[in-house]
Structure 1
């Protein structure tokens, strides 16, 4: 069967359409590649100066946040070079939180029952190798004095991470202390919220046990929504006296001069790496700043 050739005008239209498609693909492909490059560069920011430094972030993600908001806030602390992030206030959010992280990141969620606060940890697999992880019960009693109801237990994640470039090992934990902990007049515990104060003491004991049971060569690192401001904690019964001082931890908690923040990154002083600087990232979707602390090898 014979098919007549298409008229010259139709052939010209087909050629023009083909050229337009090729040009469109040429325009879109570099944009996609550029977006992938930006994401890859951002996820590898924590490996800058890989043998001599690393950065850790703490980020309280408000309950109910959607993927777009979490992705925005996580992106801010990633811009600060963080390769490990401790989260607080995430409930029932494993799929959403995973979707908010870059592809090279791993999320560690508690394996126990979901509680009042699950405190997951995420890290960049290109920077760190996971050696061990487990869920730690931080407190088995509630501090919800406002409702009078008994809440579920609170769990945290402990992660033992080895830096791929330097070989340095950290034992990281994220936790969230109760609200209304301190008396603003005395700087000590707020005994009107006795349940919360006692829950904080139990949590502090378990945080100390996590550090004291770590091998000597492991640096203890903690990320915390502490709910106590550094400039108001003036006794030995709260964060300064129960956690940072007994464990000899340096942090933006004690490094803040007259600040009013409650989110802190803590690091063991007796280590080859010490906190060299920290930065607060504000204007986030959540109602807390993101804190990024950079650890640098001591000279």
Structure 2
């Protein structure tokens, strides 16, 4: 930054405009962005006490750099998210870590190709990690347009305990195959039969992870599900294979008034001390997906 010379009398009596400009640059230098500055300044009592917490899902656009990821992450942080499930992490590990605030940590297991595609990040001031792993969801998927077998599909799972309340969640971030949904019929796109069958295997594994969750833990899932929410009318896709049998509440049904809306979901187990109270969708992002933040509130 280059500063122009300022006359002595202006320095002696700074104008309100000059003070505002100096404060603006100071705030940006400290916080990194206006959204992050607001997040640092705003600590609602309900979030500080643990009576509420926020969970976000954010699909990253291929090839995003640090500045773009930092911008998008700041938007969902402005919605008080303390856990983020990412999908399509296709850039470097250091870049994604550099895009997170200093108090956050990134759970990105190392292993075969695909174990680190759907990492989970969380605020260490809010949550303590008890366990993390990368469950294999399906061994084969199918790329419809290339006709090739894709690499194995993994999710990332984490058991997180809230430092204030002790409330524990089992969070899972995953990405379903694309071209799954026939929007005219509301059911599977059988032109991509291999992809649909891969989705069925993945949904079965997600159900197993949920069924293996202890009663004291709340199951939470974040995904790019590649199924349009308000047009999934059958029992063979996300509604019938995941949310309905597991009794999960989600933004899946929050956008009924919008045609063709929603393939990115936050899902939460209903039978818990905390229920999803509201959703907010952030659409002015660098990535080509909206960021969705769900606010969980204590109900008992």
Shared fold per TM-score greater than 0.5: yes
**Of 6, 10, 30, the match for 1:36:** 30
For residues 178 and 115 of structure 2, the distance between their equivalents in structure 1, rounded to whole angstroms, comes to 12
Counterpart of 1:163 in structure 2 is 162
For residues 47 and 129 of structure 1, the distance between their equivalents in structure 2, rounded to whole angstroms, comes to 21
TM-score by length of 2: 0.85
Counterpart of 2:15 in structure 1 is none
* 1:44–1:125 CA distance, 2 compared to 1 (3 A): farther
Specify the SS of the correspondent of 2:135: strand
Residue range with higher mean Cα deviation, 113-122 or 78-87 = 113-122
Please give the residue correspondences for 1:1-299 in structure 2 after superposition, counting only pairs within 5 Å: 35-36=29-30, 39=36, 42=39, 48-49=45-46, 50-115=49-114, 118-259=117-258, 260-299=261-300
TM-score by length of 1: 0.86
Highest Rg: 1 or 2? 1
For residues 88 and 209 of structure 2, the distance between their equivalents in structure 1, rounded to whole angstroms, comes to 21
Structure 2 residues not aligned, in runs of 5+: 1-7, 12-20
For residues 178 and 50 of structure 2, the distance between their equivalents in structure 1, rounded to whole angstroms, comes to 39
Q: Per-residue displacement from partner, 1:68-119 (whole Å, max 9, x unpaired)?
A: 0000000000001000000001124211100000000000113221239810
Q: Per-residue displacement from partner, 1:126-177 (whole Å, max 9, x unpaired)?
A: 0000011111112211220211122211211101000111110000001111
* 1:47–1:139 CA distance, 2 compared to 1 (3 A): farther
* 1:266–1:44 CA distance, 2 compared to 1 (3 A): farther
Task: Give the number of aligned pairs.
Answer: 276
Offset at residue 222 of structure 1 (A): 0.2
Structure 1 residues not aligned, in runs of 5+: 1-15, 20-26
RMSD after superposition: 2.4
For residues 217 and 150 of structure 1, the distance between their equivalents in structure 2, rounded to whole angstroms, comes to 39
Whether contact under 8 Å (2:210, 2:246) holds in the other structure is yes
* 1:174–1:47 CA distance, 2 compared to 1 (3 A): farther
Counterpart of 2:5 in structure 1 is none
